[in-house]
Amino acid sequence: MLKELCVIGHPGRCGGASTELDHQIRCWHAMGVTAHLCPTSPPDANARAMRLEDRGCIYHAPCDWPSIAGMHVISYCSRDFLRMLPEIRKHARTTTFVNCMSWAFDAEVAAVQQGLIDFELYQTVHSMEKIAERLQGASELERLLIHPYFHAADFPFQPREPGLFRFGRISRSAPDKFGKKQLWIYETMTAPEHKQGLILGWGAEVEKKLGRPPFWIGTMPSSSLSQQAFYQFANAVIMSTAGTENLPRVGFEAMASGSVLVVDDRGGWQLQVENGKTGWLCKDEREFVYKASRLAHEKNEAADMRHAARQSLEASWGLNPAMESWSRVFEAWEARRDSERIMPRIVNVSAGVRNVLG
């Protein structure tokens, strides 16, 4: 049984890859696996405030590659990791890259072609298939599908007060995160009381794309408010995106907190939301308007969705399925030998993945 591994980089409280890494460390520790952390730069104040050493993590000096000799190393969507791989590879037993996107980095493709990455991990079949289109001819790469863990305890279920219909969306301040009809949806949907919105992740480029929101929708830059405070405000997360999301951590956070999801009927949202039971999936902007309005008017239905979503999250994305998944990853790592030449293959390591991922 694997006893330790080394993370190249550092987790964080914001951002999909950073928060996911934080939650997976909790899962590894629950399995009895110690996480070493070798950052690619000195940890900033936010990283130090996480006090991961109190959770049992062992720190290495930044870029101290000799200190990781003989260890299995893993990194989450880190460009620095990809850039430093030639040196890291000299010391690591195996190297694993977790791509949390639905597309491949140029540096990732180059590293795979040079044989610097032994394993790639993906959270969804969609992501694995899309990225595979650019990873052809990689004779030593093993691609594995994992079942990530979400630590719901960090996002307590929030009480909801009667009154205003409060909604919001949360993402990076990037125009490509916003559907072009996002503000039109907010202005067109109806509610029995006044509507009040909050967009966390606003910026000048987003405003250039969408225009200025009405006065009853507040805007804030990314990370200027904690996620927990955002979900405490938002009875619903009504979120149209321009692209296809992989497996949004926002979805898990909302489900844990009791903010009902009204989101696109594609990508990772389809894996998180059971349409009409734990939230609403929407094929176009008019369906967004109808389902958001229904959520505002049908309060009993909305309350049922909130509770069903929390129960679904705990059953499908809790510790047990994640630990089974990671056990299979660790077995694959331990079976790998530096001198071994293997044919390319895809290994599904998520127990029951077809039941969960469709």
Smallest CA-to-CA distance from 56 within 8, 95, 4 is with 4
Instruction: Label residue 14 by pLDDT band (50, 70, 90).
Output: low
Query: Which tokens sit at 76?
Result: 């989450």
The residue behind tokens 């205003």 is 164
- Contacts within 8 Å (CB) and 24+ apart, 206-213: 206/173, 206/174, 206/175, 206/177, 206/178, 208/175, 209/175, 209/178, 209/180, 210/178, 210/180, 210/182, 210/183, 211/183, 213/183, 213/186
Q: Model confidence over 82-140: pLDDT tens digits?
A: 999 999 999 999 999 998 887 888 999 999 989 999 999 998 888 888 888 888 766 67
Task: Find the length of the chain.
Answer: 358
**What does the alpha-carbon distance between residue 307 and residue 296 come to, in Å, rounded to a whole number?**
16
Question: Which residue type is seen at 109?
Answer: V
**What does the alpha-carbon distance between residue 201 and residue 214 come to, in Å, rounded to a whole number?**
16
Instruction: Label residue 350 by pLDDT band (50, 70, 90).
Output: very low
Query: Which residue did the predictor score with more confidence, 20 or 355?
Result: 20
Helix, strand, coil percentages in the chain from 3-state DSSP, rounded to 5: 40, 20, 40
Fill in the DSSP letter of residue 275. Answer: B
DSSP H helices in 193-272: 204-210, 227-233, 249-257, 269-272
**What does the alpha-carbon distance between residue 200 and residue 203 come to, in Å, rounded to a whole number?**
9
Query: Which residue did the predictor score with more confidence, 18 or 112?
Result: 112
pTM for this structure? 0.85
**What does the alpha-carbon distance between residue 230 and residue 257 come to, in Å, rounded to a whole number?**
10
Q: Which domains does the chain carry? A: 4-149+318-357 (3.40.50), 153-316 (3.40.50.2000)
Mean pLDDT of 294-313: 96
Most confident of 118-132, 152-166, 270-284, 341-355: 270-284
Query: Which tokens sit at 240?
Result: 């149209």
**Which strands, in side-by-side order, build the sheet including 34-38?**
58-59, 34-38, 4-8, 72-76, 94-98, 119-122, 142-145, 345-348
Check the CA dihedral 210-285-270-141 and report its sign.
negative
**What does the alpha-carbon distance between residue 240 and residue 178 come to, in Å, rounded to a whole number?**
6
Intra-chain end-to-end CA distance of the chain, in Å: 30
- The β-bridge relationship of strands 72-76 and 94-98 is parallel
Mean pLDDT of 284-297: 98
- pLDDT exceeds cutoff 70 at 348: no
Q: Model confidence over 166-224: pLDDT tens digits?
A: 999 999 899 999 999 999 999 999 999 999 999 999 999 999 999 999 999 999 998 89
Inter-residue contact 237 to 155 (CB < 8 Å): no
**What does the alpha-carbon distance between residue 165 and residue 191 come to, in Å, rounded to a whole number?**
7
